[in-house]
Amino acid sequence: MPWLDALDETQRAAFREHGSAIARQLLAALDASTVTDRAAHLATASEAAAEYGVAAAQRGLGVTATVETFLRFRRPFVAELLGVARRRGLETSATTDLIGRAVDAIDELLVATVRAWEMTLRTTKEAQAE
């Protein structure tokens, strides 16, 4: 990802923090014992994903690069969940349910990222037009 090389350490740290917050809250949502707790963690993860989208738009990162970067997080996250399922000895149906919920949640987070990216770009263009 060439754009990453153009960031200074402070900017990279900000993107890492957004990514870490998303991952922490996503794991908490998947581990939540109630629907209410799951929804709360997913809402917090969505806020972090939106902040990621805003940061990407503010730094001039295109939507394709923003999505590509987000998707680079998805594969290792799902792979780690599969590893956890194996280590915990989860049955196939429980593993399938876990991965399905994770993929659905990640999709929601990607939409939140892109929506925030679009709103930031639109707001920036409107401010420049004034």
pLDDT in tens, 22-35: 999 999 999 899 99
- Alpha-carbon distance 36 to 128, whole Å? 41
Query: For residue 89, how many other CB atoms are within 10 A of its CB?
Result: 8
pLDDT at residue number 8: 80
pLDDT at 3 over 70: no
Span 54-106, pLDDT tens digits: 999 998 889 998 998 888 888 888 988 999 899 989 999 999 999 999 999 99
**What range does the domain containing 63 cover?**
2-129
* Count: domains in the chain: 1
Can you give the pTM of this predicted structure? 0.85
Alpha helices in the chain (DSSP H): 2-5, 9-31, 35-58, 63-88, 92-129
